[in-house]
Structure 1
Amino acid sequence: MTAPLLRVRLVLPELDDAAQRAVRAAYGLRAADSTAELQEAREQALQAADDLIAAAGTALAV
């Protein structure tokens, strides 16, 4: 578990799923064995980060 993930989970527990998906996607970049896999992993990580930001915006707007 990373320190930023722990902070998010403690301060905004409703973001837990989105935050964990973002972390897994970021670490998934390391598993790429080819340029094509790296590009796919990069796109997934960017989407997961966008999803986390959207979820945070929704949670903080309440």
Structure 2
Amino acid sequence: MTAPLLLVRLVLPELAGAAQFAVQAVYDMRSANSTAALQEARERALSASDALVTAAGAALAA
């Protein structure tokens, strides 16, 4: 577990799922076996990151 993921899970536990998904999406880029697969994985990671930021904004605004 990374320190930023742990911090998010401790401070905003309601974001644990979104944070874990974003971290996994980044790590999944390592297993890409072609340029196209890497681009797809990168897009998934960016989307997961955007979703995490959106969820964090909503949680902090509440």
The TM-score normalised by the length of structure 2 is 0.99
Q: CA RMSD in A?
A: 0.3
Q: Which runs of 5+ in 2 are unaligned?
A: none
Deviation at residue 32 of structure 1 after TM alignment: 0.3
The TM-score normalised by the length of structure 1 is 0.99
Deviation at residue 61 of structure 1 after TM alignment: 0.3
Q: Which runs of 5+ in 1 are unaligned?
A: none
Query: 2:7: which partner in 1?
Result: 7
Query: 1:49: which partner in 2?
Result: 49
Query: 2:22: which partner in 1?
Result: 22
Report percent identity of matched pairs: 69
Deviation at residue 56 of structure 1 after TM alignment: 0.1
2:52 and 2:27 map into 1 onto residues whose CA distance is 15
